[in-house]
Amino acid sequence: MIVTIPNSLAPPSILAFAAELDGLPAAELYEFDFGRSRWFPPFSMLLLAIILKRFRDAHPESRCRARNHEHHTYAAHLGFFRSFGLQHGNSPGAAPGSDNYVPITRLDIEEIRREAVDRWVEVGDVLEAKARELAGVLTRTDQGALFDTLSYSIREIIRNTVEHSEAPDLLICAQYWPTRNEVEVGIADAGIGIMRGLQRNPSFADLDERQAIQTALMPGVSGNPLAGTGTDVWQNSGYGLYMTNRICRSGGKFMICSGNAALQLTANDKMDLAGNMPGTAVRLLINTDRLPDLREQLQRFHEEGRRAAQTIRGANTSFASTASQMLSEDFQGNEIDDDF
Ligand SMILES: Nc1ncnc2c1ncn2[C@@H]1O[C@H](COP(=O)(O)OP(=O)(O)OP(=O)(O)O)[C@@H](O)[C@H]1O
Ligand SMILES: [Mg+2]
């Protein structure tokens, strides 16, 4: 049976393709046709890799073969084909990551935890360093509004994966196009998904997947029932997704897919899509044209978020300042901890 990879590689058509794969009848051979050469955006590449890997794993008795994959040298270079098991091109993480891109890269969560223990630091500190490293690869700098915005946003999304997803690893892929004034970052895990993540908090136990992704984006909403209590800077407060989606939406786009729900948001628009994803995948699309100072932006979102949280049932409305509401420089140095 021939399965045609969709011509449009925009996330909505990949989500539709995932549903199509689910409905395919049993066959001895599935031949995936990658078609003519075209642009594979980072997040689309991640989604497609996850979906194809899931299909491969669900059909252990069938043969899966690729055709026309050799047209896609750039995707091959970024580790796309190897990330779902096809022996073609680079392995994930093998491309050097220059020219403002991060190839498909797998981060091992257990390894991150071990590194934190070995270095006597918090997991959040290790993730902060990882996020800064990735933002540095993309921007070729270690300061400025774009660097700050990217390291903050990447940190918050990978923190969520590590803190909430229960997945063993996460995938990240990103690219910055200076001439287009655009950065795209995709981060995905195959964990428990947003709905089950939120259900840990009794206030949000009855939401379905669609309601859960909408609710998780609101300020003060956390699956951690202890959100907002305590003074630890890495304590959850329910602001990570709220802040990152607001950052992306000023000029760019934010997308989140989890289970059977997906949501794409721009400054004025909300697109509700049927999803079909194991775990959680987030796309950050940031417009780098006239990017505002991140510190001021976070402060404003923080204040607006606090006010909005008062009206959201179950939201954390405490005033503890935690990492998701601040830039790293705002809390570094405050938390020197020599305990052991
Ligand atoms: N990758 C994920 N897997 C499972 N659940 C998730 C994931 N990302 C987010 N969630 C759920 O969405 C909730 C809201 O996330 P958000 O980042 O806004 O707040 P938080 O992580 O709880 O707190 P903070 O970001 O302030 O530390 C999480 O508490 C969790 O229940
Ligand atoms: Mg968070």
- The tokens describing 89, both together, are 């091109």
- Output the CA–CA distances (angstroms, integers) from residue 302 to 44, 186, 335, in the order listed: 31, 24, 21
Q: How many domains does the chain have?
A: 2
Does residue 336 belong to any structural domain of this protein? no
Does residue 88 belong to any structural domain of this protein? no
Does residue 91 belong to any structural domain of this protein? no
Asked whether 222 lines ligand 1 (CB < 6 A), one says: yes
Same domain, 223 and 136: yes
Same domain, 161 and 44: no
Same domain, 113 and 24: no
Same domain, 23 and 132: no
Residue where one domain finishes, among candidates 56, 83, 110: 83
Same domain, 174 and 278: yes
95 vs 103: CA distance, rounded Å:
6
> Going residue by residue through the chain (340 aa), what tens digit of pLDDT does each one get?
999 999 999 999 999 999 999 999 999 999 999 999 988 999 999 999 999 999 999 999 999 999 999 999 989 999 999 999 999 998 877 776 567 999 999 999 999 999 999 999 999 999 999 999 999 999 999 999 999 999 999 999 999 999 999 999 999 999 999 999 999 999 999 999 999 999 999 999 999 999 999 999 999 999 999 998 888 899 999 999 999 999 999 999 999 999 999 999 999 999 999 988 889 999 999 999 989 899 999 999 999 999 999 999 999 998 778 999 988 888 765 554 555 5
Q: Which residues surround ligand 2, an ion (CB under 5 A)?
A: 160, 240
Residue bearing tokens 């202890």:
226
Same domain, 259 and 144: yes
Same domain, 24 and 123: no
User: What atom of ligand 1 comes closest to residue 199's alpha carbon?
Assistant: 31
- Evaluated on CA atoms 55, 60, 62, 64, the torsion sign reads positive
Asked whether 238 lines ligand 1 (CB < 6 A), one says: yes
Same domain, 44 and 17: yes
CATH number where 244 lies: 3.30.565.10
Same domain, 55 and 115: no
State which residues form the domain around 50: 2-83
Residue where one domain finishes, among candidates 34, 51, 83: 83
Same domain, 78 and 18: yes
Asked whether 239 lines ligand 1 (CB < 6 A), one says: yes
Please name the amino acid found at residue 291: L
Ligand 1 mutation target, pool 189, 207, 241, most atoms within 8 A of CB: 241
Same domain, 71 and 177: no
